[in-house]
Structure 1
Amino acid sequence: MLINDMISEYKKADIRCYCGGHFCRTCAGCSDWKRDGNNWKRVGNGCHLSHSSSSVHNQSIKATTSFTTLLEQLNSNANVQLPYILPYENTGRKNVTTKYDFTRAVVTIAHLIPLKNEVIVASGFAVLDGGLIVTCAHTFYQAARHLSCSELDQKSQSIVITDEGELIPVATVESHLVRSDIVLLRLQGGRQIPSLAVDPYPAPKSTSLLSYNFVTASLTSTSRPTISYSWKPAEVLFYKGPCGQEATTGTYDELSAMMYSHPPSNGSSGGPIVNEETKSVVGIIRGSEVNYATRKSIGFATPSECLFEAFKLPGMPDGLE
């Protein structure tokens, strides 16, 4: 099925993303969408997904991998280490100086479930040569809730929408870091987009951040899809360990979650949090929770150092496990 044909089936759709799973308190992928004419609107918020039943800028890209196949790969490739080295780029890149420079590497991932008229939306970003997309895992499981044994067919798909509005199907799940809620996706056809630098070291408390904030996605018949977003200023508050206890950087403490001051918007799950100074990724957005000390909602993310578990370490010989 062609991508534009699949999207056309959603004219009458309700789009829902349900919060759940042990990964999220309130996951940033969650949103509740309702149809209003040719628009999909999220209830109670200003975010909407405009849609026309016509083709989307004549993008006839055929997806060859079904969502159910990707779901199987999510399990079969759990905690797989890839045969690549992710560079240590804690100082950033000299050619990345503006928000536009690093926004080009950010994408929206849409899991399309035609038989239930459902779309689950998340964010992500490219690393390495731009052919690998980092995103969250929990939205895959949210989408899987809408499938039954009789519905495991080839119509369900996952597609990536780039900052320039290009639709690229997801080819494979390369690795799934289960404890970190991280998935690495390979784009179909060897496609590549600009990538982001990733910091292997945890950002200290009070580090100034820019957090990706998904706002709207628009699919129309007259132009390429457009993604509206913003970069929200924030700062690192503290870290948590695997049991929820506060953890300290620079020690042997395991850092499972980075708590930061800005609660992410719906649809932001899997998006990057960058160090405001270096523009390197220091966290992958997961969701929000209430800080009971301040009675305010704060964001939580997977520290970027966890991402390096999916890659070879620099200087390590091949075949060494």
Structure 2
Amino acid sequence: MSSLKSLRLLSSPLSRSGRPSLAHSRWVSSVSQNPVTGDIEPSKLKTITTDQPKELPSSSGLVFGRTFTDHMLTIPWKATTGWGPPTIQPYGPLSLPPSATVFHYAQEIFEGLKAYRDATGRVTMFRPDMNMKRMNTSAQRVALPTFNGAALIELLKSLIRKDKHWIPDVPGYSLYIRPTLIGTQPALGVQPPDEALLFVICSPVGPYYPTGFKPIALYGTTEFSRAAPGGIGAFKLGANYAPGVVAQREAAAKGYAQNLWLHGPDHHITEVGTMNTMVVFKQPNGVTELVTPPLDGMILPGVTRDSVLALARDHISGQSAPIDGLTEKLVVSERPVTMKEVKEASQDGRLVEFFGTGTAAVISTVDKIGYLGEDVHIPVGSQTVFGNPPKIPREAERYRSEHPQVPIPALNKHILSSLSLREGKATALRTLVEQYTERHGRVLDASLVYESRPSEGRKTRFESGFNLEEDDGVVMIAHALQHGAKHKVTVCSGFVLNVPDKSSGSRSKQKILVSCAHTLEEIRNSRLARDVLSNPFISSESQDQVKSGSFVITGPPSSPTFHPISAIASSLHRSDLLVLSTSSTTLSENNDVRIRSLPVSPYPAHPGTPIRAHFVVDTKPDDSEEGWTPWVGGTWRKWVKGMVVGYKDFAGRDAQPGTYDALSHLFFQPLPTPGSSGGPIVDEESGAVVGVMLGTRMDNRISGVRGWGVPSEAIFEMFSLPGLELKRKK
């Protein structure tokens, strides 16, 4: 059945500082089922095969977006009945009345994704779930109907199977898939349409630009603006692209392939005409910085953009096979960047590379930018870092832990052994990933206890040694996927939350934990996961060989205990947070160590506050470094002293606690180690958690690289306000 989504505002009481007790007023997504309307149902698919199949074109003669396959998919929608039966039919004209709302009020959205042939000839799509999520977000923005993304993916598979012979068997070529949703109600007047049509067409394509895969030249457009704060720049609407045609035409007349959109008096770089932008700088301290503008509401959240950032961060973390030719001294920054900074870096010899990312254009290296009457020249070829890396052997393309010839670390052996022993007991990764996506922003029907000034007995303990009766509340989280000899394991930290049992008011037997989300994203986006979890063409026999699950790891270093994670209760994608739950017994079995919960403060710590952060390393530190103690699976840990440095809001601007600023992320020192992500940042004086570690980030050359996390108040966004359940009962 279709879900009609509405928003309700739960306002929180003001604290003594005059600001809400949480970062900002909380918007909660509530989902109601409409018994009249229906969602997309792949089981009702009807297929009409063309009786006039077209001749397949030569790959060498393909011009992007000019050739289309034999069939298309159509799905009608009406407000009274919901989504109608899907139909695969011969490619051909659509019949629409001239009064259809799409013609008058631009009620139209679209997506772009690709299907490829790999080296074995197998067909696969690239991260279609990301496109479905973005398409639904765009639909909501212009009051078009939303849909079940997983159901549409199933229909895309059917369409691809029908026309898979159209997919070019040439490196760099693919089948471009264009889902489109339009308002079709025959009516004048600006309002949500009562009728709509979702259709999908496919086109075999090669390079997006006429120059092929060669570097392109951009023209820095200062005369026009692509988007503005609060507008529609972050959504994939046709209305975003038509106004850019004039700017693109003027750039072409000046001899440039595309225009580079610049915003504001400082000429901030936003997007290329059809791509997200990436800039690589060599900083004075020898660090190479990969920079892309932040998702501030004016930038489209590109799938290729997200993939490049994920690969770069995997390279930095060391949990995946290093990318040959890519420096180890690399930082990834999502921060504002101006043409002035790019021009100065070019003049100083610190500009390493500039490239664009997009589904259509893939990765396009830029060799020059026309800006204010002169060209800013950019290195290309062997000097670049990302656009033209040395050819990587096929074996090195896989993560180390996925390659059967790479030695498996001791911790991974423990995890994989536990995966086999608990087969059928651990919730499958596919299910957890679905919950992670579907439960984004979900508010649990339970409260997290406010503990800004915990009692002496509740304060976080900074002794790192193992206690046979009670651990200190910090645990290791592992996500594992295995298919035959290949496997993928990701680990991070997490900690137990103080969530009372609603029925008794006492400590709940079911443990609720918080951790970071990017380690789940890492395994979800790994090559192995794409091969065995997301591949629409994998056989059922091969699928049966897949083992997967997630675990909470506790206990003494020599014999860790693995507790299956039963569910992802909620997630906050923008904050990189997950709330996990175990079964009612897994963390409270007889003879098991009792895991205490940590006190969490709903209030941010002010800059300069002394902190302790739970750091983890996978090798024994030097003997001169005191305080490190053995932890689970051969790792070592320490409560490291540090300090809160500052905060940013969701637009990347400096933010201050004690005001109405929305605190998106916090910065702290010192720099955390890779396994520390998801671990707590604790106010040293109060003993309460004030943040969750996520990694490192560099916003500018002056501040340099800093520890990066999220304020603990974000955790409370996934829980009901204290006393709210009681008020409901009354």
Q: TM-score, normalised by structure 1?
A: 0.78
Could you list the per-position Cα deviations for residues 272-317 of structure 1 after superposition, in whole angstroms to 9, with x for gaps in the alignment?
1111112211001111012534463210111001110111112324
Distance 1:251 1:65, change over 3 A: same
Residue 69 (structure 1) shift: 0.7
1:244 to 2:670 alignment: no
1:297 to 2:667 alignment: no
1:132 to 2:540 alignment: no
SS of residue paired to 1:114: strand
Could you list the per-position Cα deviations for residues 10-37 of structure 1 after superposition, in whole angstroms to 9, with x for gaps in the alignment?
xxxxxxxxx9687999589933365898
Name the amino acid aligned to 2:576: D
Which residues in structure 2 correspond to 1:88-103 (within 5 Å)? 88-95=450-457, 96=459, 98-100=461-463
Find the aligned partners of 1:74 and 1:305 in 2 and give their Cα distance: 20
Match of 2:670 among 257, 262, 270: 262
Distance 1:28 1:200, change over 3 A: farther
Distance 1:230 1:252, change over 3 A: same
1:276 to 2:688 alignment: no
CA contact (8 A) 1:38 1:52 kept: no
CA contact (8 A) 1:269 1:285 kept: yes
Match of 2:573 among 159, 175, 178: 178
Name the amino acid aligned to 2:642: A
Residue 126 (structure 1) shift: 0.5
Kindly indicate which of the two structures has a greater share of residues assigned to helix: 2
Find the aligned partners of 2:552 and 2:663 in 1 and give their Cα distance: 29
Which 10-residue stretch deviates more, 172-181 or 154-163? 154-163
Which 10-residue stretch deviates more, 235-244 or 95-104? 95-104
Kindly indicate which of the two structures has a greater share of residues assigned to strand: 1
CA contact (8 A) 2:567 2:580 kept: yes
Distance 1:279 1:53, change over 3 A: closer
CA contact (8 A) 2:612 2:681 kept: yes
Q: How many residues align?
A: 289
Residue 188 (structure 1) shift: 3.0
1:108 to 2:395 alignment: no
Could you list the per-position Cα deviations for residues 172-210 of structure 1 after superposition, in whole angstroms to 9, with x for gaps in the alignment?
010112221110111134334211000110000100011
SS of residue paired to 1:87: coil
1:167 to 2:562 alignment: yes
Residue 104 (structure 1) shift: 2.4
Distance 1:26 1:245, change over 3 A: farther
Which is bigger in relative contact order (C-alpha 8 A, separation at least 6)?
Answer: 1
> Which residue number corresponds to residue 550 of structure 2?
158
Which residues in structure 2 correspond to 1:15-164 (within 5 Å)? 26=313, 30-32=317-319, 40=409, 49=411, 51=413, 60-62=421-423, 63-95=425-457, 96=459, 98-100=461-463, 104-115=472-483, 116-128=486-498, 129=507, 131-146=511-526, 147-148=529-530, 149=535, 150=538, 155-164=547-556
CA contact (8 A) 1:135 1:271 kept: yes
Residue 93 (structure 1) shift: 3.3
Name the amino acid aligned to 1:273: I
Could you list the per-position Cα deviations for residues 104-136 of structure 1 after superposition, in whole angstroms to 9, with x for gaps in the alignment?
211111111112421111111000247011001
Could you list the per-position Cα deviations for residues 116-163 of structure 1 after superposition, in whole angstroms to 9, with x for gaps in the alignment?
421111111000247011001111111011213237665111111115
Name the amino acid aligned to 1:171: S
CA contact (8 A) 1:23 1:181 kept: no
Find the aligned partners of 1:21 and 1:269 in 2 and give their Cα distance: 20
Name the amino acid aligned to 2:586: R
CA contact (8 A) 1:163 1:227 kept: no
Could you list the per-position Cα deviations for residues 196-233 of structure 1 after superposition, in whole angstroms to 9, with x for gaps in the alignment?
00011000010001111111289xxxxx8454211111
Distance 1:163 1:203, change over 3 A: farther
> Which residue number corresponds to residue 228 of structure 1?
636
Find the aligned partners of 1:131 and 1:188 in 2 and give their Cα distance: 7
SS of residue paired to 1:125: strand
> Which residue number corresponds to residue 122 of structure 2?
none
Distance 1:27 1:250, change over 3 A: farther
Residue 70 (structure 1) shift: 0.4
CA contact (8 A) 1:65 1:170 kept: yes
Distance 1:184 1:269, change over 3 A: same
Could you list the per-position Cα deviations for residues 65-100 of structure 1 after superposition, in whole angstroms to 9, with x for gaps in the alignment?
111110011112111111111111011232136324
Find the aligned partners of 1:71 and 1:275 in 2 and give their Cα distance: 32
CA contact (8 A) 1:28 1:269 kept: no
Structure 2 spans left out of the alignment, 5+ residues:
1-305, 321-399, 465-469, 499-506, 588-594, 621-631
> Which residue number corresponds to residue 605 of structure 2?
203
Find the aligned partners of 2:415 and 2:473 in 1 and give their Cα distance: 28
Distance 1:52 1:235, change over 3 A: closer
> Which residue number corresponds to residue 278 of structure 2?
none
Percent of pairs identical after alignment? 31
Could you list the per-position Cα deviations for residues 30-52 of structure 1 after superposition, in whole angstroms to 9, with x for gaps in the alignment?
33365898663xxxxxxx84747
SS of residue paired to 1:205: coil
